[in-house]
Structure 1
Amino acid sequence: MTDTLLDVSGVTMRFGGLTAVNDVSLTVGQGEIIGLIGPNGAGKTTFFNCLTGLYVPTEGTVTFRGSVLPPKPHLVTQAGIARTFQNIRLFANMTVLENVLVGRHTRTREGLLSAILRGPGYRRAEAESREKAMELLEFTGLAAKADHLSRNLPYGEQRKLEIARAMASDPGLLLLDEPTAGMNPQETRAAEELVFAIRDKGVAVLVIEHDMRFIFNLCTRTAVLVQGQKIVEGDRETVQNDERVITAYLGAPLAETGPDQATGAAPVTGTDPTEADQ
Structure 2
Amino acid sequence: MTDVAGSARIDKRAFVEDGAIIGENCEIGPFCYVGRDVVLGDDVTLMHHAVVEGRTDIGAGCRVFPMAIIGGEPQSIRHDGSLTTLKVGKNCTMREGVTINTGSSHGGGKTVVGDNNLFLANSHVGHDCVIGSNVVLSNNVMVGGHAIIDDRVILSGGAAIHQFVHVGRQAFVGGLAGVVNDIIPYAMVVDNPAFMGGLNVVGMTRSGMSRSELHIVRKAYKAIFADGRVRENASAARDAFAGQSDAALEIIDFVLNREGERALTTPGSRRRGGETG
TM-score (norm 2): 0.24
TM-score (norm 1): 0.24
Greater relative contact order: 1 or 2 (C-alpha under 8 angstroms, separation 6 or more)?
Answer: 1
